[in-house]
A and B are shown apart, each in its own frame.
Chain A
């Protein structure tokens, strides 16, 4: 069988010294085809950034292996373009220079004029020509993220790794950038791994959605293939039965993975034999005799169920 484009084989990773060692990732397996858009959805702190750093080669797994086109990944390199969760722009360089730094490194054979043109092309692609000479501190979060995306795409990576690129943004900017990412990945037939904490975003953008269970010992769940035709319209999507079903299944899987964790730490709790006072009910006049209500005396219980 032909090996997949990106192959992750039983990768595990733990942090900390021997004594207080916590296993973050356990037995991660993943294979991604060329041109595929895969989204990984997981809880905050589950180990998403850790997984991404391993794919990028910034971290070495304790066990297992990552292979890109059959070659084991041992160190970071520009063929795996990483869009960092916190943008990681260099604050002393302006927009153009931040992108240019990457271009200069990746295309040393090109002439200076070609590299400038190449940089301009990508700055324009993310609609930042107007902010060309601005420093990152003068940009909004969304603009910074776009610079970060431009810097990464300008390297012509074989695979684009996005670590929660949109999580820190407001809903409107987020929707805008989602559309831009969809457009960019479609026009470049780019292989993408997108990490997100938003199932809707994952389904909107990806060909395949994979949940990451809650940590510690997080691992990948089953793949959910998204066959919704592109370009996808976010408003129409909300009524798409496939969207609704995948969304429900992914969320259910994530919730179950968390319940499983919670169950393992449940302890027997002893509650006091007293009910909290319900201030919404009629209160007797001041001075009237009142006494605390015992839990065992409560006869009627109201349960609210969200529709």
Chain B
């Protein structure tokens, strides 16, 4: 009896135990190995103002944590939209044309593993002429160029996996090329595309932090870097936790959308 009751609460108790264990480890490390690392209690005390008033704005680089998150999300949304706008058609071209795929596959394979930290300076150089806008444009460029690959590759795979039967239907009906694209190819590829979209969003969120750190823009990443320089280490941890939670929520949201298209 007792056993089964415990089983029912598994989903709640076990994660709490896990969090507890990490907090204890954190406490131990901060007390022994690294004296500079603020312990959980100190972190909370120093972060309280940012969490309790999440939308406060006290200065350019002193704002509530959700306000920072909001800035980051806006930037991510722009860069992500750019990634999808470029990545999806590129994926379709790769999937539809063997020649196109053979021509660009090596370049894609080489560019794909390049770190956002490497792209960002290039982005800044690229938009040097844009003056005040340079940092935003550079960040957008970096997000787009890093985040689009999963969309590109998944779309390409999805296009190649469209069953011949569907294409035969299109041929028997004599659908025009555009109609075949919109009535058959795109709907048949949607599940793959959404898997790509979800993975791309994950990467976009990873990149934003790096981009903000290097450009010093207000946002979670920029705040993190500023507080490192200001020696307020508690806020680094606050930022890390925030970034993690937001990333998790974004991934959940995308997988809900993704699943809707899977069943269709």
CB-CB < 8 A to B188: which residues of A? 90, 92
Give me the interface of B with A, judged by CB distance under 8 Å.
Answer: 165-166, 168-169, 171-175, 179, 183-184, 187-188, 190, 263-264
Q: Roughly how many angstroms separate A88 CA and B172 CA in the complex, as a whole number? A: 12
Question: Which residues of A approach B to under 8 Å, CB–CB?
Answer: 56, 58, 75-78, 80-82, 84, 86, 88, 90-93, 101-102, 105-106, 135, 137, 155
Q: Give min CB distance, B174 to chain A, whole Å.
A: 6
User: Does B173 lie within 8 Å of A90, measured CB to CB?
Assistant: no
Given contacts A90-B183, A90-B184, 16 further A-B contacts (CB under 8 A): A76-B168, A76-B172, A76-B174, A77-B174, A78-B172, A78-B173, A78-B174, A86-B165, A90-B166, A92-B188, A92-B264, A93-B187, A102-B173, A105-B174, A105-B179, A155-B173
Report Cα–Cα, A91/B175, bound state, in Å.
18
Decide if A76 touches B171 in the complex (CB within 8 Å): yes
Contacts of B174 in A (CB 8 A): 76-78, 105
Taken together as a complex, chains A and B put the C-alpha atoms of A92 and B187 apart, in Å, by 7
CB distance from A158 to the nearest CB of B (A): 13
The answer to whether A101 and B173 have CB atoms under 8 Å apart is yes
CB within 8 Å for A58 and B173 given contacts A90-B184, A91-B264: no
7 nearest CB pairs, A to B: A88-B165, A105-B173, A92-B187, A76-B171, A76-B172, A92-B264, A88-B169
Q: With a CB–CB cut-off of 8 A, which chain A residues contact B165?
A: 84, 86, 88
Known: A90-B184, A135-B264. A105 touches B175 (CB 8 A): yes
Q: Residues of A contacting B171 with CB < 8 Å?
A: 58, 75-76
Q: What residues on A are CB-neighbors of B175 within 8 Å?
A: 105
Question: What is the bound-complex CA distance between A78 and B184, given in angstroms?
Answer: 17
Q: Contact at B168–A90, with CB atoms within 8 Å?
A: no
Which residue on B lies nearest to A53, using beta carbons? B168
Please report the C-alpha to C-alpha distance between residue A90 and residue B186 in the assembled complex, in whole angstroms: 12
Docked pose: A91 CA to B168 CA in angstroms? 14
| Contact partners of B264 in chain A: CB under 8 A | 91-92, 135
Min CB gap B44→A, angstroms: 49
Task: Given A84-B165, A135-B264, check contact A90 B172 (CB 8 Å).
Answer: no
Which residues in B have their C-beta under 8 angstroms from that of A88?
165-166, 168-169
Residue of A81, A91, A101 near B183 (CB, 8 A) is: A101
Q: List 21 A-B contacts (CB under 8 A).
A: A58-B172, A76-B168, A76-B171, A76-B174, A78-B173, A80-B172, A84-B165, A86-B165, A88-B166, A88-B168, A90-B166, A90-B187, A90-B188, A91-B264, A92-B187, A93-B187, A101-B183, A105-B173, A105-B174, A105-B179, A106-B173
Provide the bound-state CA to CA distance between A155 and B174, in Å. 12
Residues of A within 8 A of B263 (CB): 137
Once the chains are docked, how many angstroms separate the CA of A41 from the CA of B144? 57
Chain A nearest Cβ from B235, distance in angstroms: 47
Q: How far is the CA of A88 from the CA of B263 in the complex (A)?
A: 17
